[in-house]
Amino acid sequence: MSERLPPNPRERINRARTINFSFDGKDVEAYDGDTIGSALHASGQKVLSRSFKYHRPRGLLCCAGQCPNCLVDVDGSPGVRACTEPVRAGIKVTHMNAKPSLDFDVMRATDLFGKPFTPPGFYYKTFIRPRRLWPLYEKVLRNAAGLGRLAKRQADREWRTEYRRRRADVLVVGGGVAGMAAALRAAELGADVVLMDDGPELGGAMLAGQDADSAKELAESIRAAGVEVLAPAAALGFFDGLVPAWQGNTLHQVRADRHIAATGSIEQPLIFDGNDLPGVMLCSGAERLASLYGVRPGETAVVATTTDRGLESALALQEAGIEVAGVVDARAGDGSEELLGALAAAGISVHRGTGVVKAFGRKHVRGVVVADLDDEGRPDPASKRGIDCDLVAVSGGTMPATSLLLQAGAKARWDEASGSYLPDGVPSDIRVAGAVAGHEPRNCAAKSGAVAGAEAALSLGLGSEEDRARLQADRASLLRETEGPAPAGQARTQDAGSRNGKCFACLCEDVTTKDIDYAIEEGFDSLELLKRYTTVTMGPCQGRMCQLASIRQMSEDTGASIEEVGLTTARPPWSTVPMGVLAGRPFEPAKRSAVHGRHRELGGNVMWAGDWRRAYDYGDVRAETMAVHEGAGLIDVSTLGKLVVSGPEAGAFLNLLYPNRFDNLKPGRIRYGVLGDDAGRITDDGTICRLDENSFYVTTTSSGADAVESWFSWWLAEWKLDVQLTDVSQGLSAFNLAGPRSREILSGLTELDCSNDSFAYLDGKRANVVGVPCLMLRIGFVGELGYELHCPGPLAEHLWDSLLEAGAAHEIRPFGLEPQRILRLQKMHILVGQDTDAESNPLEAAMPWIVKFEKEEDFIGRWALEAVAERGAENKLIGFTIENGTVPTEGAAVVVDGQPVGLVTSSRFSPKLERSIGMAWVPAALAEDGTTITVSDEGRQISAAVQTAPFYDPDQELLRG
């Protein structure tokens, strides 16, 4: 705490409460309210990081979260800005990008000796030969570069993040005086206002100055007015009216009817040899450190500036107790007489028309070399002289923070008078206030904010005529205050000093002015190309510290005006943000059957099946399969899609959708249906049961339910039939009770006559089973006598339990998806999407019997299927058997003379048939019983015999019995 200044009324710290944390394993004492950066600086730790490429020592620069100089790792999270991150007790802070230590970094050799090997784009030039070594080079380079490392264990990288959506009438981005004034005025007029700011406390630049108290009062006023304040919450971008902001573990997604950009301006660094040394700070950074945290940024300061901002800063630093050895002002004649008088009165010498040529020191500034500048800003070597100091406070003017506005569709216009890019062509739902609009002086910024707030609120229909009149008056007043010549000292903001030595244009990516010269000489003479080649503006500061500098240099080098050079495209994120925050809370919507809990209790291996969680098996596929053949099995098929189609024209509607007939289906009967598209291709299948004259119960595949519902709805809207459609998929549970003893089990649980005469194959009956109302479909997807029981989900557990209980005497077993797949394959029942693809039609997929060309009315795909019928099948879906038990991989090729001609779609070993069975697409010529086909599977050639009839119960005797 040796570097603390005497207490001041603006400071955020509580000197009565100390907090301890560690930095690189050493204990550090901080005050409550400190940031990690301020505490480390106060403890004497001036080097906080090493630079990206040259591993040069870096220390605090902006103290506002704008630059890359203080990135550290906090408790395993890399890339944290120490200058804004509050200290918390016990946190473990470590440096990044330095080995073996921050003090001694062997990679510093790249700075001392590596320059000839590391020009812009060096990884494309230096490390390309021999080419085979590139993977090695890449590994080494990636290891050497980078700004931090993630924890190795997944668990250590996980943290809870979530989205929060917020609608608002007005969103104000920026919590400085302009933003607060805007928010207050809009709220006063009745608007629902959200204000977001990236700092922990509203007030912006005011907080570190004499107006700190009024900033706090204004902040209290806006909260009292009902404004929701999000701080610290950095706005990340502008996405068609949606502005996301990161705050802690929350990503706010604010969508407002009106937006006010009060994003302020960013103080620019100066370019000279050694401008990255620890001890070189922005004037605003040095002031913030002294004022807000009571930390002495240095003992003796030299202030280098191109505007009056530096003159103000020199006075502020001296008032804080820092000796100011001199002000180096690049301007020869400009400058506020009032400020110059105050400096003279304070005994601070001002070197007019002078610039810093070099800052020297090994790990920290020990002094600067200054020189007189000629009319073009070049230093006169004969005038060089040194000034001892340990702090160089620099101010190269300001740059309006227009990035969010540009993302929103605004343009940027170079304003010669202020020497900055100002927003232009701003979209009508956005207002601009304060420094970003060029309204920099504080009284002017407050008025600018009030005008923007009133405009936003009034444009929403809020406020009164009186408020409109007041707005007119405020506008006129604002215009008067911003008219006329720019404030003295703002007109000339070009960089001072020379470009000898290492003058950094971009601190994030270690891009020097020489690198930019070099790139331009190589032909990268547009700003966008320069950016991509040198990576200038592409680092964590996103151009805040380097864009204007690179534009100016390109302008000087190419002779193009600054306006002609232009800006690079502004892209989100405007502020750095952890990827986890963007990802948000993981949502994995899963549908579960009403008896999902029972499957877990029964030891079901649950897996994804479409968007459902289903039991794949219960641990013994073979036993489950054989139970269905020998006794009874019970499977939960609640995942099936289920639609109620009703209305006087329901039958006609289904006739148009399916290639077979449904209007002649009798109530209480069931028919299989295959859905196709316009091209006759199979899209889904299922059973249709006619419930009564006007109503049908349609089932679909599990994964096709939503698509079929959409397909039906789409055609219903097109055909305008008197039909209603309701999706009841998730309301009805369905269990398939199958096996030779299933009738016996069922008969004991219902009063319905389940005899074959009364309840025949393809009958649909409605009756209560163990008191549960059911629709019972006598169908047989798995090839044995079976009943599909559809019942309300809330009663399903009772039905499931009762069936298993009653079936216990009949050796019933629950069976899962995998046994079902074996059983259905034995019957050659297709799985849409597995045995069919985007080219499959029913004529070729072994189902020509389902296409009723004799139907009078048209049906979807008729024309295409007629064309197939006319030309004849080219390929056919067939079954095959393999005697030696080999099970080919699904997807394996069917080959003729070594050339692929088809593929295997399904294959399993059948425990009942004791051989391998499968289905495959083959050329029509091979689709004859007994033909031998060859399957090529991962180098094996497997012979298989074609079979066109089902492998099991081909005459359907078991199903019908």
Partner 1 sequence: MSFEFLAPDAASAFSGAAPAARSPIEWAQRDAGAQFTERAGWRVVADYGELAKEATACRETVGVADRSHLGKVELQGDPGVVAAAVSQLARGAALQLGTATLVDEVWWCPITAGRVLAITPPEATGQLRAELEAAVSEGPFASVVELTAALGSNAVVGPQARETFARVCALDMRPDRFLEGAFAPVSVARTPGMILRERGDQFLHLFGSGYAQYNWTVFVDAAESLGGRAVGDETLRAGKREAAARA
* Interaction site with partner 1 (CB under 8 A): 160, 162-167, 192, 253, 255, 585, 587-594, 596-598, 600, 612, 644, 646-648, 691-692, 694-695, 722, 724, 726-732, 749, 766, 768-775, 790-795, 797-799
Task: Specify the residue, 63 or 734, whose C-beta has the smaller distance to partner 1.
Answer: 734
665 touches 651 (CB < 8 A): yes
Task: Specify the residue, 149 or 164, whose C-beta has the smaller distance to partner 1.
Answer: 164
Task: Specify the residue, 799 or 919, whose C-beta has the smaller distance to partner 1.
Answer: 799
What is the closest distance, in whole angstroms, from the C-beta atom of residue 190 to partner 1 in the complex? 10
Task: Specify the residue, 166 or 223, whose C-beta has the smaller distance to partner 1.
Answer: 166
The torsion of the CA quartet 626, 629, 632, 635, rounded to 10 degrees, works out to 70
Task: Specify the residue, 594 or 782, whose C-beta has the smaller distance to partner 1.
Answer: 594
623 touches 635 (CB < 8 A): no
What is the closest distance, in whole angstroms, from the C-beta atom of residue 178 to partner 1 in the complex? 26
Task: Specify the residue, 254 or 548, whose C-beta has the smaller distance to partner 1.
Answer: 254
CA distance 652 to 659: 12
CA distance 508 to 706: 50
Task: Specify the residue, 526 or 768, whose C-beta has the smaller distance to partner 1.
Answer: 768
CA distance 379 to 357: 7
What is the rounded end-to-end Cα distance, in angstroms, of the chain? 92
Task: Specify the residue, 216 or 255, whose C-beta has the smaller distance to partner 1.
Answer: 255
Task: Specify the residue, 477 or 730, whose C-beta has the smaller distance to partner 1.
Answer: 730
Task: Specify the residue, 119 or 731, whose C-beta has the smaller distance to partner 1.
Answer: 731
- Nearest-10 crossing angle of helices 308-320, 283-293: 30
What is the closest distance, in whole angstroms, from the C-beta atom of residue 635 to partner 1 in the complex? 17
Burial 4-29 (b: 16+ CB within 10 A, else e): bbeeeebbbbeeeebbebebbeeebe
What is the closest distance, in whole angstroms, from the C-beta atom of residue 592 to partner 1 in the complex? 5
266 touches 45 (CB < 8 A): no
What is the closest distance, in whole angstroms, from the C-beta atom of residue 764 to partner 1 in the complex? 10
21 touches 87 (CB < 8 A): yes
| Among the listed residues 429, 426, 420, the one whose alpha carbon sits nearest the alpha carbon of residue 406 | 426
CA distance 716 to 704: 18
Task: Specify the residue, 746 or 847, whose C-beta has the smaller distance to partner 1.
Answer: 746
CA distance 249 to 580: 9
CA distance 628 to 814: 9
Longest distance between any two alpha carbons in the chain, whole Å = 117
What is the closest distance, in whole angstroms, from the C-beta atom of residue 574 to partner 1 in the complex? 22
What is the closest distance, in whole angstroms, from the C-beta atom of residue 704 to partner 1 in the complex? 15
- Nearest-10 crossing angle of helices 513-521, 547-558: 40
Say how far residue 467 (Cα) sits from the centre of its chain. Answer: 42
Task: Specify the residue, 111 or 727, whose C-beta has the smaller distance to partner 1.
Answer: 727
Tokens of 690: 């006619």
Residue 295 identity: V
170 touches 258 (CB < 8 A): yes
Tokens of 227: 């404004």
Task: Specify the residue, 44 or 794, whose C-beta has the smaller distance to partner 1.
Answer: 794
Tokens of 149: 């490392």
What is the closest distance, in whole angstroms, from the C-beta atom of residue 900 to partner 1 in the complex? 40
| Among the listed residues 847, 846, 901, the one whose alpha carbon sits nearest the alpha carbon of residue 879 | 846
What is the closest distance, in whole angstroms, from the C-beta atom of residue 587 to partner 1 in the complex? 5
CA atoms within 13 A on the CB side of 626: 9
Q: What secondary structure letter does DSSP report for 501?
A: S
What is the closest distance, in whole angstroms, from the C-beta atom of residue 769 to partner 1 in the complex? 8
363: helix, strand or coil: coil
CA distance 402 to 474: 24
782: helix, strand or coil: coil
